[in-house]
Amino acid sequence: MRRGLGILMLVVLAALMAPAAAWAHEAPETDQSRWVMVDWMLETFFIFAGVALAGFLWAWKAGHFHNLEQQASIPLRIHEEDYYTPEWAFDEEEWDDVDAER
């Protein structure tokens, strides 16, 4: 019974969506219809900008931008291995050879 009802629902949904896909390109060409996309783009921009502004104000009021200079220096105090400099760069003999060639 459930399987038959599920299949019936899928068939009904497909039947309801088929005409919309067929008639999607049949939009009237008027002066007003040319501005529909602009309206959606503008509304979407204002929605995203409003959410971003609200998030910024929330972070500001929560104190996340307080004393940024001190917060930026915290990673500099963490002592880690140097993963990027190869061992030969620390060798003084290697640097003596470079100075000799100049």
Whether pLDDT at 13 is above 60: yes
Residue 37 CB: number of other CB atoms within 10 A? 9
Q: pLDDT tens for residues 19-45?
A: 666 666 666 777 777 777 788 899 999
For the stretch 52-72, pLDDT in tens is 999 999 999 998 888 878 777
What pLDDT shows up at residue 56? 96
CB-CB neighbours of 14 under 10 Å? 9
What the block records as the tokens of 89 is: 């760069």
> 24: which DSSP letter?
T
- The predicted model scores a pTM of 0.42
Rg of the chain taking only CA atoms, in angstroms = 32
pLDDT value of residue 60:
93
**Per-residue b or e along 58-95, where b marks 16 or more CB atoms closer than 10 Å to that residue's CB:** eeeeeeeeeeeeeeeeeeeeeeeeeeeeeeeeeeeeee
Task: Tell me the C-alpha distance between 79 and 26, whole Å.
Answer: 65
